[in-house]
């Protein structure tokens, strides 16, 4: 009997491990170069005081991402397809075109961050480096199936995580101040733009569209309730596990910046990732700067791939089509997202500010996506018996109000 229980436990663990992937694919989207810029700005400018925003954003993210995946599992539609099917055409087009702009802003940040890393490592000019990241990302997006991309992303996320563990291991962290910072909301003077950029960097609208699509790479019978319930259970564990990893890595970035770059309010906020890397050298040794740049490069490449996939998902949905790199709609969506992002980079004179502003743009678009998602997942017509509970709808509305409130607060800064 004991052996039978152990075998069942092992089988369940193995099944869950096989299911891992969609959550990690989404996670890399919020440990992207835009996050690096936002987190380094937060840590270097305000020490440990803004760690709470990573905690709050991650809690909101877990609820939102699970809800988006819930939509994909229960209906077989991604968020973009569901909007096309159940929302009036003009309104749907406005919503999805704004989401496309968010995907372009995301892709711009990813490629720009990867290009900064290439400049740090090999002295390749930013604009040339951006084109190299573009080429690699498009190659991966058009030649890899979901499974192969998932494995690639898992490797990248693991390497980024180990990179920051290495950085924290050799930095002097004030863990007492960090513990307070994780749970105590604080709004230091001049912090509102950074708070909003951290929010946009963690809770990214394109990831909500992406998660509702890639969750469907796990093929199942939508007519079988037991299968759907099992997928929902595994999906939540995958999302929770992956988002906690993202929280840890994002926290590590702020901890690293606070420990090595913050000067008690007397120094300036770091506004250049290259400078941030160089400033770590005398404090941690030359190895830290190399690790910093390599991790940034991995983040840039992997998150550029997911940004392109998200753009393809959103654009296909405008035409009520699923994501499929063999179709013209998906190809057009990926190319539009990535090429427009690359064109924008050609006109950016201050890369770090470009990264910060891109994350602010995501935060501004975010309420549109959240309210759209609430409308769809709270509709019995869309979700059937898997419609949101009243408690979940309340939580989602609270999140929407908080995000909208932070956007409004920015107007008065």
pLDDT digits (tens, 9 = 90+) for 59-94: 998 999 889 988 988 888 999 999 999 999 999 999
Sign for the pseudo-dihedral over CA of 226, 228, 231, 237: negative
Integer Cα distance of 175 and 255 in angstroms: 9
Query: Of the candidates 220, 206, 240, 242, which has an alpha carbon nearest to the alpha carbon of residue 78?
Result: 206
Query: Of the candidates 257, 294, 297, which has an alpha carbon nearest to the alpha carbon of residue 279?
Result: 257
Q: What confidence score (pLDDT) does residue 336 get?
A: 96
**Could you tell me the CATH superfamily of domain 2-411?**
Amino acid/polyamine transporter I (1.20.1740.10)
Integer Cα distance of 218 and 386 in angstroms: 18
Query: Of the candidates 105, 280, 271, 294, which has an alpha carbon nearest to the alpha carbon of residue 201?
Result: 105
pTM beyond 0.85, yes or no: no
Q: What confidence score (pLDDT) does residue 269 get?
A: 62
Cβ atoms of 234 and 15 within 8 Å: the answer is yes
pLDDT < 70 positions in the chain: 1-31, 144-154, 156-157, 160, 216-230, 232-233, 265-272, 275-286, 411-413
Q: Which residues of 102-126 are buried (b: 16+ CB within 10 A; e: fewer)?
A: bbbbbbbbbbbbbbbbbbbbeebeb
Q: What dihedral angle (degrees, nearest 10) is formed by the CA atoms of 24, 122, 356, 399?
A: 10
H helices of 89-224, where? 89-122, 126-143, 146-169, 175-183, 192-202, 205-214
Q: What confidence score (pLDDT) does residue 229 get?
A: 66
Residue with tokens 């040794």, as numbered in its chain: 285
Q: What confidence score (pLDDT) does residue 18 get?
A: 52
């Amino acid at each position: 009997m004991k052996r039978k229980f152990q075998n069942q436990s092992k089988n369940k663990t193995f099944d869950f491990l096989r299911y891992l992937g969609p959550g990690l694919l989404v996670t890399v989207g919020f440990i992207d170069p835009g996050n690096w810029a936002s987190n380094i700005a937060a840590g270097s400018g305000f020490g440990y005081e803004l760690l709470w925003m990573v905690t709050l954003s991650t809690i909101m993210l877990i609820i939102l991402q699970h809800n988006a995946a819930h939509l994909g599992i229960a209906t077989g539609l991604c968020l973009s397809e569901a909007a096309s099917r159940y929302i009036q055409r003009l309104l749907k087009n406005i919503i999805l075109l704004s989401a496309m702009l968010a995907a372009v802003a995301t892709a711009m940040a990813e490629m720009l961050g990867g290009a900064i890393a290439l400049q740090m490592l090999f002295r390749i000019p930013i604009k040339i480096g951006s084109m190299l990241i573009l080429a690699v990302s498009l190659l991966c997006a058009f030649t890899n199936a979901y499974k192969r991309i998932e494995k690639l992303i898992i490797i990248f996320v693991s390497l980024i995580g180990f990179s920051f563990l290495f950085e924290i291991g050799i930095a002097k962290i004030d863990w007492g101040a960090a513990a307070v910072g994780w749970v105590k909301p604080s709004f230091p003077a001049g912090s509102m733009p950074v708070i909003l950029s951290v929010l946009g960097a963690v809770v990214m609208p394109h990831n909500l569209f992406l998660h509702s699509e890639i969750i469907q790479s796990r093929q199942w019978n939508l007519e079988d309730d037991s299968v759907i319930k099992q997928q929902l259970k595994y999906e939540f564990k995958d999302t929770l596990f992956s988002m906690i990893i993202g929280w840890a890595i994002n926290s590590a970035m702020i901890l690293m910046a606070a420990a090595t770059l913050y000067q008690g309010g007397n120094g300036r906020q770091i506004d250049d990732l290259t400078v941030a890397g160089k400033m770590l050298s005398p404090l941690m040794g030359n190895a830290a700067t190399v690790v910093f740049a390599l991790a940034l490069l991995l983040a840039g490449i992997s998150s550029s791939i997911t940004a392109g996939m998200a753009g393809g998902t959103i654009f296909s949905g405008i035409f009520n089509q699923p994501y499929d790199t063999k179709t013209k709609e998906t190809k057009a969506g990926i190319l539009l997202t990535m090429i427009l992002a690359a064109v924008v980079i050609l006109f950016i004179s201050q890369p770090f500010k470009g990264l910060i502003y891109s994350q602010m743009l995501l935060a501004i678009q975010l309420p549109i996506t959240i309210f759209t998602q609430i409308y769809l997942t709270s509709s019995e017509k869309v979700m059937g018996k898997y419609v949101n509970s009243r408690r979940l709808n309340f939580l989602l509305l609270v999140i929407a109000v908080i995000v909208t409130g932070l956007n409004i607060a920015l107007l008065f800064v």
